[in-house]
Amino acid sequence: MQVTVNGSPVEYHVAGYGEPVLFVHAFPLNSQMWQPQVEHVSRGYKTVVLDLPGFGESPPAQEAPTMFSYVETVAAVLEAAQVDQPAVLVGLSMGGYILLEFFRRFPERVRALVLADTRAAPDTEEARQNRLDTAEQVLQEGPRVLVESMVPKLLTSRADDVVRLRVREMIFAATREGIAGALRAMAARPDSRPTLETITVPTLVIVGGQDDLTPPAEAEGMAQAIAGAELEVIEGAGHLSNLERQDAFNAALLRFLDDLGSS
């Protein structure tokens, strides 16, 4: 299915029935990364996934993206999917950055949050410059620039070869403009640490035990800053914990969702 946001088409998919759960993918992947979760969650919930502009089946945005334009995309997809009640929002890595911005803008539209392998702190100056430099390189050379450098950072050395291949395919499916735009948007994102103390909805923080990009200590700090937040450390997983340890991630997510229903 498709919705137009700021003049550009955005692809999204809906599965299942029940309370709404929307997933926002990581950089530089697409909605297919959530397939292992949708297969399970959609048995009892209405699941919504989307391809951010320039990723998966969505063409690049007409204007340079920002964290807020990504938030507008999420909001438009919720409306197009006929989600007229507060939804559970699940985001991993860049998806988490977007959801923190979404909560700042539209807290009344959030039933609960799942923040996986992400951080609230902004980039250091060095990290920001690295993103900007990489954006220029990708525009010149294409997604291949990211494949060899990022896959070892996204997964542990013990990751299944099928998962590793799927991650590579998703990166290659991204457009140069989508990748560069996302890198610049992430480099310019605000400090979300003050937002953590304002979150009053139920929140689950998930992190891979071997995640070197957003380490467990960072996830622990986020969970401590959010009142009542739960922390789930998935051992044996790197940054893409939902793919590397699918069963453990699904179990934690479903337990959280089912607890919401009984509260």
CA angle 26, 59, 89 (to 5 degrees): 35
Q: How confident is the model at residue 148 (pLDDT cuts 50, 70, 90)?
A: confident
Which pLDDT does position 263 carry in this prediction? 65
Nearest partner of 36 among 53, 19, 49, 18, judged by Cα:
49
If you count them, how many residues does the chain have? Answer: 263
Reply yes or no on whether the pLDDT at 183 is more than 90: yes
pLDDT digits (tens, 9 = 90+) for 113-122: 999 999 999 9
- In 10 A of CB 162, how many CB atoms? 9
Quick one: DSSP state of residue 198?
T
Averaged pLDDT score across all residues of the chain: 97
Spatial separation of the C-alpha atoms in residues 142 and 144, rounded to whole Å: 6
Spatial separation of the C-alpha atoms in residues 263 and 84, rounded to whole Å: 21
Which pLDDT does position 38 carry in this prediction? 98
Q: Spell out the residues 6+ positions from residue 219 whose beta carbon is closer than 8 angstroms to its own.
A: 117, 205, 206, 207, 211, 231, 233
- In 10 A of CB 224, how many CB atoms? 12
Spatial separation of the C-alpha atoms in residues 32 and 52, rounded to whole Å: 12
Segment 85-107 mean pLDDT:
98
Percentage of the chain exceeding pLDDT 90: 97
Asked if 134 and 146 touch (Cβ cutoff 8 Å), the reply is yes
Quick one: DSSP state of residue 61?
P
Helix (H, G, I), strand (E, B) or coil at 20: strand
2-5 vs 8-15, strand pairing mode = antiparallel
pLDDT digits (tens, 9 = 90+) for 33-52: 999 999 999 999 999 999 99
Computed from CA positions of residues 139, 143, 147, 148, in that sequence, does the dihedral angle turn out positive or negative? negative
Tell me the β-bridge partners of 133: none
pLDDT digits (tens, 9 = 90+) for 126-142: 999 999 999 999 999 99
Helix ranges restricted to H, the chain: 35-41, 67-80, 94-105, 125-141, 144-154, 161-173, 176-187, 193-196, 216-225, 241-244, 246-262
Asked if 160 and 245 touch (Cβ cutoff 8 Å), the reply is no
Quick one: DSSP state of residue 97?
H
- Helix 125-141, helix 176-187: angle, nearest 10: 170
Quick one: DSSP state of residue 86?
-
Spatial separation of the C-alpha atoms in residues 161 and 157, rounded to whole Å: 10
**pTM of the shown model:** 0.97
